[in-house]
Chains A and B, each alone.
Chain A
């Protein structure tokens, strides 16, 4: 089957990164198109008219939107290699639950750590640590959330790791001190080429965030 795969993306987006990791895990060749989110391309607006957001995967001209929907789509189409989800329905539901937990709990809280100050920031830090401690509990002694192999939940979470230096610097705290197992897991994931090649450097994300705060007058 011939595949034309295009990814509309934005380099610091942890949601776009999930799709990059998924494509790399499956060894899929694709064209990466960087979007300027202050000036969205006609292609983006056409391919994601509802949310007008990246990432968008365009497969043989047809768009798929929402990062976790895209990752499941990739897993189902390129099903012969490195499955992300377990085959058993119960374990699949379990993985979906934890990816959904990450989706509901991590982003908004994490954003408040770099985007707010004072009381609001302190509350956000506390919630962030609590969320990651719950995730540590779910990880347990397993090398990956997927068990012996890197899977759907690992993909959903690992991309936030590229923002950890940003959270720690703005929030003035150490994630490793609070959640050592998460850092150990993240470093294990980063040993995978698909992950290391897909995540930007943590310092670059920090510089981007500093710039973004100035640009939007968030200081």
Chain B
């Protein structure tokens, strides 16, 4: 079950963070190999020839790609501790639905907040806050999306929290004012050691995104 675990990683990627978080939740020892995404390594290209992206989990030499697929794999292999997905198939389908919503809707809108300007950015900001409000509705009065315990949907969304300062400054939005329950939930998650240790500092992410934005927007 244990064996050799390597993660092809990138410090500010909210997708790679999901995997780091899953590994931390399960207490799995692994080697993180930081990738230079402007100069992709032969290892990355060999392990993920289709998408050529991080994260890639390499378990006993065999690659698993796509963050949510990796997280499900980790949950299934290391199944004796801290289950991330519910055991009931219906609850599991709901968890998969909401993680898919994060990927299809929250993530796409979030990207538009920092990588565009003008009207496109306004539309992106509006949609981003709408998707977070929808997530608030799903959270309801539960402490976590997973219910009483941190789970798969929490993991899929919390990593975006490290980018919130960047969204707020570059998008000129106040996420707490619009979505206070999401901020309350995020702070609750950050009290977990695994989350606090995994997510990078929001200011560091902001500085990184400022540079990254230059590649997308001429100002």
Contact = CB atoms under 8 A, between A and B. Distances in A.
Interface of A: 50, 59, 62, 64-66, 69-70, 72-73, 76-77, 89-90, 92-94, 96-97, 100-101, 134
B93 interface: yes
B73 A90 contact: yes
A93 B100 contact: no
Contacts, number: 52
A90 B100 contact: no
A90 B49 CA distance: 17
B62 A90 contact: yes
Contact of A101 (B50, B72, B77): B50
Nearest to A65: B97
A65 B97 CA distance: 7
Give the 6 A-B residue pairs with the shortest CB-CB distance, closest first: A76-B89, A89-B76, A73-B93, A93-B73, A69-B96, A96-B69
Residue with the highest number of chain B CB atoms closer than 10 Å, among A77, A96, A134: A96
B208 to A, nearest CB: 25
A90 B73 CA distance: 7
Interface in B88-114: 89-90, 92-94, 96-97, 100-101
Contacts of A97: 64-66, 69
B28 interface: no
Contacts of B77: 89
Nearest to B94: A64
Given A50-B134, A69-B100, A96-B72, A90 B64 contact: yes
25 contacts: A50-B134, A59-B90, A64-B94, A64-B97, A65-B97, A66-B96, A66-B97, A69-B93, A69-B97, A69-B100, A76-B89, A76-B92, A89-B77, A90-B62, A92-B73, A92-B76, A93-B64, A93-B69, A93-B70, A93-B72, A93-B73, A96-B66, A96-B69, A101-B50, A134-B50
Contacts of A89: 73, 76-77
Interface string B56-67: 000100101110
Interface of B: 50, 59, 62, 64-66, 69-70, 72-73, 76-77, 89-90, 92-94, 96-97, 100-101, 134
B6 to A, nearest CB: 15
Contact of A70 (B59, B62, B69, B93): B93
Nearest to A104: B51
Given A64-B97, A90-B64, A73 B90 contact: yes
Nearest to B99: A69
Contacts of A134: 50
Contacts of B134: 50
A47 to B, nearest CB: 12
Contacts of B70: 93
A93 B77 CA distance: 11
Contacts of A100: 66, 69
Nearest to A73: B93
B19 to A, nearest CB: 12
Contacts of A92: 73, 76
Contacts of B66: 96-97, 100
